Amino acid sequence: MSLRLRILALAVPALLLDTSAVAAQSAFYNLDSGRPTRVEDALPTPRGELEIQFLPLRAEWLGDGSQRQRLEPKIAFGVLSMTEIEMRMPFVHSRAPDGTAVTGAASAAIGALHAFNVETRVPALALAGELVLPVSTLSAPTGSYSLKALATKTFRFGRVELNAGGGTWSIRLPAPGPVATPNQCGDPGQPPCLPPDLPCNIVPVSGNGPSSACAPSSATSLVTQAVGTRRSTGPHWTASLGVDHTLPLVSTLFAASVSMDRFEGLFPLTDWTAELGVRSQISPQMVADLGVGRRFAGTTQSTSVLFGVSYATPLRWP
Is pLDDT of 24 > 80? Answer: no
Question: Which of 278 and 134 is assigned the larger pLDDT?
Answer: 278
The confidence score (pLDDT) of residue 37 equals 93
pLDDT per residue as tens digits for the range 213-262:
333 322 233 333 444 446 778 899 999 999 999 998 999 999 999 999 99
The confidence score (pLDDT) of residue 263 equals 86
Q: pLDDT class for 197, splitting at 50, 70, 90? A: very low
The confidence score (pLDDT) of residue 276 equals 97
247 contacts: CB under 8 Å, gap ≥ 6: 253, 254
pTM higher than 0.85: no
What is the percent of the chain where pLDDT is above 90? Answer: 44
Q: pLDDT class for 191, splitting at 50, 70, 90? A: very low
The confidence score (pLDDT) of residue 310 equals 94
Question: Which of 268 and 126 is assigned the larger pLDDT?
Answer: 126
Domains of the chain: 3-314 (2.40.160.40)
**Degrees (nearest 5) of the Cα angle 281, 286, 292?**
65
Is pLDDT of 189 > 60? Answer: no
Is pLDDT of 12 > 80? Answer: no
Is pLDDT of 68 > 50? Answer: yes
Is pLDDT of 104 > 60? Answer: yes
Q: pLDDT class for 206, splitting at 50, 70, 90? A: very low
Mean pLDDT of the chain: 77
Is pLDDT of 211 > 60? Answer: no
